[in-house]
Amino acid sequence: MDMQRVPYVSIARAGKTYASPRGAVPALVDITLDIQPGEFVSVVGPSGCGKSTLLKLVAGLEEATAGALQVAGRPLNGPPDNLGVVFQRDVLLDWRTILDNVLLSIEFLGRPRAKYRDGALALLNRFGLGGFEHRFPWELSGGMRQRASICRALLSDPELLLMDEPFGALDAMTRDDLNIELARIWQETRKTLLFITHSIAEAVFLSDRVVMMGKAPGMIVDIIDIDLPRPRSLASRESSEFIRYVSRIRHHFAELGIVKE
């Protein structure tokens, strides 16, 4: 069997219905999506359409109530090994230094901290946090905290990276910087990436494919291949091809009544 052709993430007719005191909440309906090894896939959709639920299913943090999921060719049974996750709100611990926060992922895996200390410092440097390793999260800006969260997710060198609106709370300029840094890291490491965002432009800029989700209950309404050359720079966002992808997706959302024209 040609291993390259086995999707890294395979989601087959997956559904998720939450039980709540007000009754059953259908969050995802009939989701089918394969992500190839080393592919960058973004999911865009309106608030409440089930994006975070989808990410939690792949992360093994929630269980699907229908269908099946596989990661690295194995059925999911709890969080897969070799996974890095970054959430919109950084989950840094306020009583730990930045370095100790980054090393937390290694502690969770039960690996020796000492072996990863140099790697953690190198990653912090790489993300412009050199010299901040002994500071505490509350001493850093939102952008710096999110950079530290990304370092933490990358430290164990996971094959799969899941990011849930990681730049959603940042100002536009910091967000642009982090888009460039993430594109560069992905280009170098070719991790399989599932990226969730509200921003159509961010999705087009970063991705090989953009998955569009409709209004709740979450369904996939379209999947668009982004054939823009790489590496991409902020200038790529001014190209006519880029603008065409963004407007095509926006028009489709407008037709669905999700955004206004």
Q: Which residues contact ligand ADP by CB under 6 A? A: 18, 20, 25, 27, 45, 47-53, 216
Whole-angstrom Cα distance, residue 32 to residue 16? 13
Q: Which does 53 bind (CB under 5 to 8 A by kind): Mg ion, ligand ADP, none?
A: ligand ADP
Q: Which does 50 bind (CB under 5 to 8 A by kind): Mg ion, ligand ADP, none?
A: ligand ADP
CB atoms within 10 A of CB 212: 22
Q: For 41, what's the count of Cα atoms within 13 Å in the CB-facing half-sphere?
A: 25
Complete DSSP assignment for 101-163 = HHHHHHHHTT--HHHHHHHHHHHHHHTT-TT-TTS-GGGS-HHHHHHHHHHHHHHT--SEEEE
The answer to whether the CB of 203 falls within 8 A of the CB of 42 is: yes
Distance spanning both ends of the chain, measured CA to CA? 47
Q: Which is nearer to ligand ADP, 48 or 231 (CB)?
A: 48
Residue 142 Cβ vs ligand ADP, minimum distance, rounded to whole Å: 20
Question: Of residues 10, 52, 101, 192, which one binds Mg ion by CB under 5 A?
Answer: 52
The DSSP symbol for 82 reads S
Q: Which does 95 bind (CB under 5 to 8 A by kind): Mg ion, ligand ADP, none?
A: none
Q: Which does 4 bind (CB under 5 to 8 A by kind): ligand ADP, Mg ion, none?
A: none
Q: Which is nearer to Mg ion, 51 or 147 (CB)?
A: 51
Stretch that binds Mg ion, among 46-54, 69-77, 107-115, 203-211 (CB under 5 A): 46-54
Residue 169 Cβ vs ligand ADP, minimum distance, rounded to whole Å: 14
Dmax over CA atoms of the chain, in Å, equals: 54
Complete DSSP assignment for 158-202 = -SEEEEESTTTTS-HHHHHHHHHHHHHHHHHH--EEEEEES-HHH
Q: Which is nearer to Mg ion, 52 or 192 (CB)?
A: 52
Residue 14 Cβ vs ligand ADP, minimum distance, rounded to whole Å: 13
Residue 78 Cβ vs ligand ADP, minimum distance, rounded to whole Å: 17
The 148-167 site mask, x for binding Mg ion (CB under 5 A), equals --------------------
β-pair partners for 254: none
Q: Which does 10 bind (CB under 5 to 8 A by kind): Mg ion, ligand ADP, none?
A: none
Q: Which does 27 bind (CB under 5 to 8 A by kind): Mg ion, ligand ADP, none?
A: ligand ADP
Residues that bind Mg ion (CB under 5 A): 51-52
